[in-house]
Amino acid sequence: MALSPDGRTLASGSSDHTVKVWDLQTGELRYTLSGHSDPVNAIAISPSGQTAASGGEDQTIKLWDLQTGELRRTLSEKGSDVYADRLCQ
């Protein structure tokens, strides 16, 4: 899980291969981000609160636009699953 710097958005990775983005002011699900082909083990939100990075067992890191829910870029971590300790370094 990751909390945005302003405390308004929570993002969580899941074993169902998605990232869920929640609006903490309303308690409503804002987006379900699909794109990983395996469980999502790590999630981080940028200091600006505009971008989330997710990583998982599909050996990719995905960068998401938190304003639109769109996938911006996919990075490959060939040969290694991605976990939080690698994503947040």
Predicted pLDDT at 84: 59
Q: What percent of the chain has pLDDT over 70?
A: 87
pLDDT per residue as tens digits for the range 17-76: 999 999 999 999 999 999 999 999 999 999 999 999 999 899 999 999 999 999 999 998
pLDDT over 60 at 16, yes or no: yes
* Count of beta carbons in the 10 Å neighbourhood of residue 9: 20
- List, in order of start, the domains of the chain with CATH numbers: 2-87 (2.40.128.630)
Predicted pLDDT at 36: 95
Give CA–CA dist 16/19, Å, rounded.
Answer: 9
- Tell me the three-class secondary structure of the chain, residue by residue: CEECCCCCEEEEECCCCEEEEEECCCCEEEEEEECCCCCEEEEEECCCCCEEEEEECCCEEEEEECCCCCEEEEEECCCCCCCHHHHCC
Predicted pLDDT at 89: 45
